[in-house]
Structure 1
Amino acid sequence: MSRVNKLEAFTLPLTAGGTRVDVSGLHRGGTGTPLVFFHGFGSTKEDYADVVHQEQLADRPVLAYDAPGCGASTCSDLGAVSIPFLVTVAEQVLRARQIDRFHVIGHSMGGLTALLLADGDPGRVVSFTNIEGNLAPEDCFLSRQIVTHTDDDPDAFLARFAERVGGSRFHGGALYASSLPHKVRAGAVRAIFESMVDLSDHGKLLDRFLGLPASKTFMYGEQNNTLSYLPALAEGGVDLAEISHCAHFPMYSNPPQMWARIADLVTQADGS
């Protein structure tokens, strides 16, 4: 493997809204427009480490990092980790890595973070691969459990949340649930989930996504092909990428198809 294909680890100390954060990330240099990845709730930057094996994306600059309270990133106040907080952190990480314009790929919570980031400065985003990031209230099938299955004990909530997800009928659920206690701190869950629900219910996210000028793909699992807003996305010129044998986690259930669609969008957007 050539040096440019390797991902190098980094740690970035920063302060967001008075809260101390140490961001753990992966990056590589290269040529062309950088690829910036945002992972979902209960996942980590390693969801995207296989970018090094994608021939179409070879030698491109890459940035992926753990959101505060997730993976190896730390946060002095886990209760501060809302979606707006994650956007603030994203802005600082991009500034520190000297990334101006970029292709963004975000899954679930990361897709929502990427949407708010892009909405704040649309000219920066060349293409947006939104992997089931929240666009409507119906997308809170995981996060709304903070309301429907409330528990004052953060550790108990996370444990029971993992049990419910692990026992679901959806592809990838058991694999995802098995690693949750190792990938997210329980104290960060409430603020993340409550902000996701609030934004999904009141943030006009679908309109904001459709209004972005970048090339856009909405990626979803075959088991979720009944999402009510898919026709509106198609009518709005968004490329729809249905991933077979998959639900909410294409990086676990069908990574080859996921990576092929990401590579296609990035290549097409750079050529337009």
Structure 2
Amino acid sequence: MQKDTPVVLINGLIGCLDHPALHDTLPTQVIAPDLLGYGTLQDTAPKLIDIAAQVEHLHRQLQARNVARAHLVGHSVGGVVALMFAHRYPQQVASVTSVEGNFTLNDAFWSAAVARMDREAVEQLLASYRADPGTWLARAGVGPDPRRLALAQRWLAHQPAATLQAMAASVVAVTGAARYPQQLQAVFAATPVHLLAGEHSRAGWDVPHWAERAAASFTELAGVGHLMMLEDPPGFASAIARLLG
């Protein structure tokens, strides 16, 4: 990894990847900007939030930091943002790491469920997670401990229900479009794409055979699942450092 090429972390539907372990472990600048509707941008109107808008927002964020080229690491829904950014701005992407990113509509099953709910139902769902983050973690296969509970609370507070619904609907639209596989194949042909899965969640990741063959690498991280960066932040950071190195 060239030390002057930053790593840009792109969160999934829920959460924030701005974690000290990632800054401390990766041997280059780490950027984890708030996406539209997340963190400091929670007040963004839902009608302005979709995958294409996130790509342009991320582009502006990198321009503001004078970043000409970066490694993109996208988790789950963030994997779609990363790949669509690489499709839109290939010259600005040194590599993409898809951390169980959504390759097909099958992968976006939870987003599809959220997209079908009305706003009140999504608000109630998020409120239930916030009231009991331990149960939310357990349903994701993560054993709760004080550190993980604190991080889960931060993740769950990082976005409102309106953002979840807007992003979920956009992910369903993007991954379900007939042109999506061709867009992905164009990215794989032009840019090194690394695939990173958790041992406990790999079986549920719908990666097309062509993507496995075309990937620069495929890593399965032992002992963790889909929320690997919450479950084991140092281990996740070390895995990213190894595959980009």
Under TM normalisation by the shorter chain, which class is it? Answer: 0.7 to 0.9
The equivalences for 1:189-208 within 5 A come to 189-202=164-177, 204-208=179-183
Say yes or no: does 1:216 pair with 2:184: no
Higher strand share: 1
Q: Distance in 2 between matches of 1:107 and 1:169?
A: 15
Q: Distance in 1 between matches of 2:194 and 2:115?
A: 30
Partner of 1:39: 11
Q: Distance in 2 between matches of 1:182 and 1:94?
A: 25
Partner of 2:139: 168
Partner of 2:24: 53
Say yes or no: does 1:250 pair with 2:228: yes
Deviates more, 1:81-90 or 1:223-232: 223-232
Gapped runs of 5+ residues in structure 2? Answer: none
C-alpha deviation, 1:107, in angstroms? 1.0
Deviates more, 1:226-235 or 1:247-256: 226-235
Contact 1:67 1:86 in 2 (8 A): yes
Contact 2:115 2:168 in 1 (8 A): no
Q: Distance in 2 between matches of 1:216 and 1:198?
A: 23
Deviates more, 1:173-182 or 1:215-224: 173-182
Partner of 1:82: 50
Gapped runs of 5+ residues in structure 1? Answer: 1-29, 268-272
Q: For 1:51-100, what per-residue CA distance to the aligned partner results, in whole angstroms no more than 9, with x for missing partners?
A: 2321xx33x23321111221233434134211111112111111111111
C-alpha deviation, 1:240, in angstroms? 0.9
Question: CA 1:256/1:178 → structure 2, altered by over 3 Å: closer, same or farther?
Answer: closer
TM-score (norm 1): 0.74
Contact 1:143 1:193 in 2 (8 A): yes
The equivalent position to 2:118 in structure 1, one of 151, 159, 179, is 151
Partner of 1:11: none
Q: Distance in 2 between matches of 1:234 and 1:135?
A: 11
- Which amino acid in the other structure matches residue 66 of structure 1? D
Question: CA 1:232/1:157 → structure 2, altered by over 3 Å: closer, same or farther?
Answer: same
Aligned residues: 233
Higher helix share: 2
Equivalent position SS for 1:98: coil
Contact 2:194 2:217 in 1 (8 A): yes
- Which amino acid in the other structure matches residue 104 of structure 2? A
Q: Distance in 2 between matches of 1:116 and 1:43?
A: 20
Partner of 2:32: 64
Higher relative contact order (CA 8 A, sep 6+): 2
Q: For 1:153-178, what per-residue CA distance to the aligned partner results, in whole angstroms no more than 9, with x for missing partners?
A: 14224235777844525236985764
